[in-house]
Amino acid sequence: MNDPREFATHLVDYYLGDRLDAAGSPAGLRDTVIELVADALPDHVEALMSSQLDLLAHPSRTQIPDAYFADQAAAEDALQHAAAGLRTALAQAGVIGNAQSFERGAAARLRDDPQAALRAELSRVSRPLTRPKALAWSLDPAPWFGESHQEQLPWPPSGFASVAGLRTLPGGTGAFSYVENGPHAGWVQIGLVEQQHTPARRYPDQPVRRVRIAVGLEAVSGDAPPGRLPVGRAPWQLWIRPLRKLAPELTRADVAAERISRADQPLVALTDAGATGPVEAPDHRSGLGLPTYVLAPAACVVAALGLEPTEGIYGFSLSDAAGEALVCRQWHGHLVHDGHYVPLLPAISGADLLLRRDLFTRLHDTIGAARCRAGIGVDYMSENEGALDDEE
């Protein structure tokens, strides 16, 4: 690398930027971390990362393997070393505070928290067949990814045109699917997001291609807003912390119900725990081992239904007095190769949100029959040699 400090700055922003921002960007911390990483790059990181790539990647492979590499380890190590002296540095600048509360607060904001990844694994299921009838065509995973030169498979996949441009599924709440079997039989699927993604490869020649589908419960008085997925944003901690600690203004069920009955809004959300991050920044990385998507209910839904994180060892689960009430399931699979016949890649990754049927009825009544919608969003892209060929 020509400029170690420039590369170190990129690593710190890429791997640690969100955590530094969440900690309030303490004076001098970011620069100190960058200097520590820059010092480690020439003597340690370059050689170790080169060895890792030689061991873990095929010589002709362009995709970086899914592993914890030396550059990420160096950034994390630098952050922890620099943060360890943060309180002393602030004291030297005249900022004196309670030692225990400061250390506890700084650690909570700066640590690399594995909870979301661990809970995602506990929430993992075999790919379910539950989805609205209008999306039945998407059950065939990545049908365009054929193994033969002779195959002329349609792109975008057959069936895409039937929902392209739709923002609301016809049939109102009748468009939502119900789980047919298993521990959540009879529950309503109020949210679904799935990505089907295949890599570029030389034999047979195929570009990178991706199809994404999303369905979500919405409260809308008029036409649903065009040009966006039917989901909002929410912190993933809704699954593990009582709402009174995350949104004290929404602790009253009557206030939340009033908001749901009047405000136009998505009631399903993508959280910041997914490896895709926010909808607006799909290339954002937020931690090792995270799934592509983690869904959650909107905070007002949690408050209106009186839900709390389920006690015990669970994945993404909320409960009420009657028991488990709302869950998020995770799946990925349908392994494919990129032509090198080395580590396979999951072409399918998705998540859904299931609500107990009696609570769905209650939520439907709160929204109002005329405002309760099954929002939908679908898109696709094809990319060859860095140029975007098609996008919807």
- Backbone φ and ψ of 168, nearest 5°: -140, 135
The Cα 263–Cα 282 span in angstroms is 27
Can you give the pLDDT at residue 50? 85
The Cα 85–Cα 4 span in angstroms is 24
The Cα 347–Cα 74 span in angstroms is 30
Q: How confident is the model at residue 280 (pLDDT cuts 50, 70, 90)?
A: very low
The Cα 380–Cα 197 span in angstroms is 10
Can you give the pLDDT at residue 390? 40
CA-CA distances (angstroms) from residue 171 to 83, 178, 376? Answer: 55, 15, 13
What tens digit of pLDDT does each residue of 9-58 get? 999 998 888 788 877 777 778 888 999 999 998 878 888 888 888 887 76
> Which of helix, strand or coil describes residue 329?
strand
At 156, list the tokens: 């975008």
Can you give the pLDDT at residue 338? 66
Looking at the chain, the whole-number percentage of residues with pLDDT higher than 90 is 46
Which residues, 6+ apart, have CB-to-CB distance to 391 below 8 Å? 379, 380, 381
Which of residues 203 and 307 earns the better pLDDT score?
307
Kindly report whether the peptide bond that precedes residue 204 is cis, defined as omega within 30 degrees of 0.
yes
The Cα 122–Cα 132 span in angstroms is 25
CA-CA distances (angstroms) from residue 275 to 279, 283, 380? Answer: 11, 8, 19
The Cα 142–Cα 348 span in angstroms is 8
Rounded to an integer, the average pLDDT of 322-341 is: 86
Can you give the pLDDT at residue 341? 58
What tens digit of pLDDT does each residue of 220-271 get? 998 887 877 899 999 899 999 999 988 888 889 999 999 999 999 999 999 9
Written as one letter, the residue type at 238 is L
Rounded to 5°, the CA angle 282-68-296 comes to 40
Say if residues 349 and 332 touch (Cβ distance below 8 Å). yes
| Mean pLDDT of the residues in the chain | 83
Q: What is the DSSP letter of 347?
A: E
Can you give the pLDDT at residue 17? 85
The Cα 127–Cα 148 span in angstroms is 26
- Backbone φ and ψ of 18, nearest 5°: -65, -40
Bridge partner residues of 379 (DSSP): 212
What tens digit of pLDDT does each residue of 89-112 get? 555 556 555 555 555 566 666 666
Q: How confident is the model at residue 273 (pLDDT cuts 50, 70, 90)?
A: confident
Say if residues 7 and 41 touch (Cβ distance below 8 Å). yes
- 219: phi > 0 → left, psi -120 to 50 → alpha, else beta; which? beta
The Cα 292–Cα 71 span in angstroms is 22
